[in-house]
Amino acid sequence: MGGFFSKFAGAQQKKADSAEGGVAPLAPIASDDAVRRAGLLDALEKSELGWFWASDGAGRLVYLSAPAAERLSGNPDELIGMKLSDLFVDDEGTGESSTQRPLKFQFAARNSLRPTIVKIEQGGKTVWWEISGAPKQDTENEFSGYHGIARDVTSTIASQRDAEKLSRYDSLTGLANRHRINHKLTATLSAFRVAKRSCATMLLDLDRFKQVNDTMGHPAGDELLKQVSQRLTRIVGDQGEIGRLGGDEFQILLPDIEDRAILGDLSDRIIQMLSQPYSINGMRAIIGCSVGVAVAPFDGIESEELIKAADLALYAAKGGGRGQFRFYSSDLRDQASHRHQIEEDLRDALVKEELEMHFQPIVSADEHKVVCVEALMRWNHGERGMISPADFIPVAEEVGIIRELGEWAINDVCAQVASWPTDVCAAINVSAVQFASDNFIEIVNRALKNSGVEPSRIEFEITESVFVGDIDRALRMFRELKEIGVRLALDDFGTGYSSLSYLRDAPFDKMKIDQSFVRGCTEEGNNNGAIVSAVVSLAKALNMETVAEGVETQDELEAVVTYGAGRIQGALFARAMPGSEIRERLENGELIFEPRGPEKYRSDRRTEFRKIGLIHEDSRYNVFLRNLSKTGAKIEGLLEVPIGTDVVLDLGGGQLAVASVRRSQGFSQGVEFETALVSDGADGLCTRHRVSPYQIEAAGRPLGALNDSAVAALTGALNMSKKAFVEVDISAQPDGKK
C-alpha cells in the first residue's frame, strides 16, 4: 500500500534527465499520461500536503496513503478493512455554531462528501482530519465506494478551540464568560418554553471586594476571584452552570428548579461559604456576598426580562444590608424607583437640615438604669416624613456620601452630649468606609475640641468588617483613638466575619451581641442561647462589657441576664427617641426604664394587616390577613366558618397556599398550611411554589411573567354558585374589633 503511484514514476523521470542541451524541452503532462500523473500524485502523498483514501461499496477502507497510516498506527495493514464510520468519527466539539451534517448521514446519502472535520482515535492517538470525497460507480453504474482526500488539521482545530475557549470562558477563573452564559440562558429559555419547563437564575455580587482590591492589590483581588469561583463550583456542582460576568459579578443558571425552598437554601449556602475567610499570599481577606434570584417563566420568559428581575432582587438584597438573598417580586420595581428618589433627595438632606439624631437607651441588667445611649440617624424628609435608616444608609454607602453623613453625626452627637447634665455616654456607629478615611482621627479630634465634651463619654461602635484587608492599619487606628480617650465597642459580633485573632490586640471596651443571637435564645433546641453564653464568657475573659441587642420580650431579658450580659438594649425598655426627649429625661433624673412588652418570643409570627383572597370551593372572598407564620395564619372577614374547612389563601404574586381552618370564632379564623412557607430572604415569608404561567397560558391567556391580573383571570370563573359564608367588612377596624 506504500505509494502505488511510485512504480510508474521512475522511467519517466530518467527520460527527462537524459535530455540533451542546457534546458530540457517542455513536456506538458497530458490527461492520458497515466505514468506522469501517477508520479505527481505520489509526490503529493510524500509531501504530506494531502493524502488519499478509498473505500468499497460496503464502506470499508481499501486504501490510505502510507504517510497518513503511519501517523495513526505505524502499521498501515491494521487500518485496511475498517469501517469508515468506525475510523472517521464526527467531531461534535468543533464549535457552537458548527453546521456540518453528520458524517453517517453523508455516507448513507452516497452523495459527494463535502469537506468535513472528523476525529480519529487510533493507536492511542487522537487527531482531527478534514476529509472530502466523491462517490464512484462500477461498470453497471452501481455505487462502489468513495475516492477521497484528507489532510491533518489537528493544530488548526487546537488553535480554534483555544480561541473559542477564550471567547466563551473567563480567562481568570475558567468559568463561562458573559457571552456564553447569556447565550446559554437565551437558548435554555427558548427550549424550555416549548417543553413547559422552568429555569432559575442567580446574580451574585461580592461585598467589600473593592476594599480588598484597594488595600491588598489587584493580584490579590485576582487570586480572591479564583478562590471564589472554586467555592462556587463545589457548592453548585452539576445543578447548573456558573458564569463570571466581569469584576466581582457572577451568574448561575439552574435548570428545572423553581422550588423557592431549594433556591433559598442554596443562596444561604453560597452566602455562608463565600463569607468564610480567604488566605491570600499569607494574608487574610474577608468578603461577603449578596444574591438576587429570579425564576422563568414566573418572573420573566425572555432572557433580558429574567436578568432584569434578578438584578432588581440583587439590588434589594444589597439595599437590605448585604450578605442576604432576595427573590424577585413585582414590588421590587416600585422599590427601585423609591430608592432612586432617595438617592436624589439624600444629597440635599444635609443642606436642608433634614437629618437628626435619635438615641436608644442601653440599661444596666440589674437596675435597668440608663448607662449609655446609642445614637441612631433619622431622616425627616420635608415631604415624605420619616425615612427608615434601612432605606437610606445603604444608599449613602453606595453613592459615596456616607463619610459626610458620618462626620455630621459625630459633630452633632458630641455637641448634644456636651450639654447633657449627667455623665451618660453616647455610642456612634462608624461605617467601614468612614473608618478607612485618612482624616478620620482628625475629624474625631476636631469634634471633641469644638464641643468640649469629655472624650470618655463618646463611644464608637465598629463592626468586624474594618479588619478586611489591612489589619495593622485598623489596629493602629484603634490605638490612636484610645490615646484620644474615646471608648470602643465591637458591634454585631459573630454575624459571619468573626475571627478571634484580632481580639488579642484590639483595645475594645465593649462587645455587643447581635440581636440575631438574642432572638430565639429561649426556644428549645435553639443554639442561640449557647452562643450568647459563649460570647459573654469571651468578653469577660477579655475584660469587656457586654450588651445584648434587640431584647423585645420578658423571656429574652431573663435569658440574657442569666447568661451574664451586663447591659441590655431593645424595644422592651425603649425605642430610639429624639434628642430633646432623652435630654429631658436626663434633666429630670428619670434614668430608670421599666421593661414593657410581651412575655414570650414567638419565632416566626408576623403581624400584618392586608387584604388577600380566600378561595373555598367555587367562591372567592376578600379577607384580611392578620398574622402570618410558616405554618399558618390568622384571617378575618368571614362569619362562622366551620373548623376543618379546606380553603386556599391567595397571598398575591401567584402564591396560593392550601390551608385548613383549625380555629374559628366569629369573623376570625386560624388556618394551618398544608405546606409550610419559606423565608423570602428578607423579613417575610413566601410559598415554595407559585401558579405556573404555563397553566395560565393553557387557560387561554398569552404566556408571560406572573401578575395578579393573570392569576385573577385563572380564577375568574369563581363565584358562579351561592357563597357558603358571609363576608364582613372590617377595613374600617384596624384593630379587628367591632
Q: Indicate which CATH number applies to the domain containing 177.
A: 3.30.70.270
Give the domain range for residue 266: 169-329
Same domain, 221 and 360: no
What is the C-alpha separation between 730 and 22, in angstroms, rounded? Answer: 118
Q: Are residues 389 and 487 in the same domain?
A: yes
Examine the pLDDT at 97 and tell me if it is beyond 50.
Answer: no
Looking at the domain assignment, is residue 19 inside a domain?
A: no
Looking at per-residue pLDDT, the higher value among 307 and 436 belongs to 307
Instruction: Supply the pTM of this predicted model.
Output: 0.62
Least confident of 131-140, 233-242, 253-262, 499-508: 499-508
**Helices and strands, counts by H and E, the chain:** 23, 33
Distance CA 610, CA 650 (A): 12
Answer yes or no: is 74 within a domain. yes
738 or 429: whose pLDDT is higher? 429
Q: Is the pLDDT confidence value at 191 over 90?
A: yes
Based on the fold, state whether residues 259 and 321 are members of the same structural domain. Answer: yes
* Last-in-domain residue among 127, 143, 160: 160
Answer yes or no: is pLDDT of 484 > 80. Answer: yes
The span from the CA of 198 to the CA of 294, in Å, is 11
Do 320 and 388 lie in a common domain? no
Helical packing angle, 178-195 and 154-168, nearest 10°:
80
CATH number at residue 135: 3.30.450.20
Reduced to 3 states (helix: H, G, I; strand: E, B; else coil), residue 150 is strand
Q: What is the pLDDT of residue 736?
A: 39
- Residues 173, 120 within the same domain: no
CB 175 within 8 A of CB 243: yes
Question: Alpha-carbon distance 647 to 625, whole Å?
Answer: 14
2-16, 482-496, 571-585: least confident range = 2-16
Domain boundary (126, 160, 194) is at: 160
For residue 93, the model assigns a pLDDT of 55
Q: Which of 555, 587, 619 is the last residue of a domain?
A: 587
Residue 219 lies in a domain: yes
Residue 178 class from Cβ within 10 Å (0-12 exposed, 13-18 middle, 19+ buried)? middle
- 671 domain-assigned: yes
Q: Are residues 125 and 68 in the same domain?
A: yes
| Strand partners of residue 200 | 254, 295
Quote the CA–CA distance of 441 and 474 in Å, as a whole number.
12
The reply to whether 510 and 611 lie within a common domain is no
**CB within 8 A of 669, min separation 6: which ones?**
634, 635, 636, 638, 641, 661, 663
Identify whether 297 is preceded by a cis peptide bond (ω within 30 of 0): yes
- 710 in a structural domain: yes
Do 223 and 289 share a domain, yes or no? yes
- Answer whether residue 431 is part of any domain: yes
Query: For residue 40, is it within any domain?
Result: no
In a domain, 107, yes or no: yes
**Residue 622's CATH number:** 2.40.10
Distance from chain centroid for Cα 9 = 71
Handedness of CA 132, 138, 140, 142 (dihedral sign): negative
Domain shared by 370 and 315, yes or no: no
379 pairs with which residues across the strands?
Answer: 355, 387
Q: Residue 649 in 3-state DSSP?
A: strand
Same domain, 244 and 354: no
> Do 206 and 311 belong to one domain?
yes
SS3 content of the chain, % helix, strand, coil (to 5): 40, 25, 35
- What's the rounded Cα separation, in Å, for the pair 427 and 545? 14
Assess whether 499 and 410 both reside in one domain: yes
Tally the domains of the chain: 4
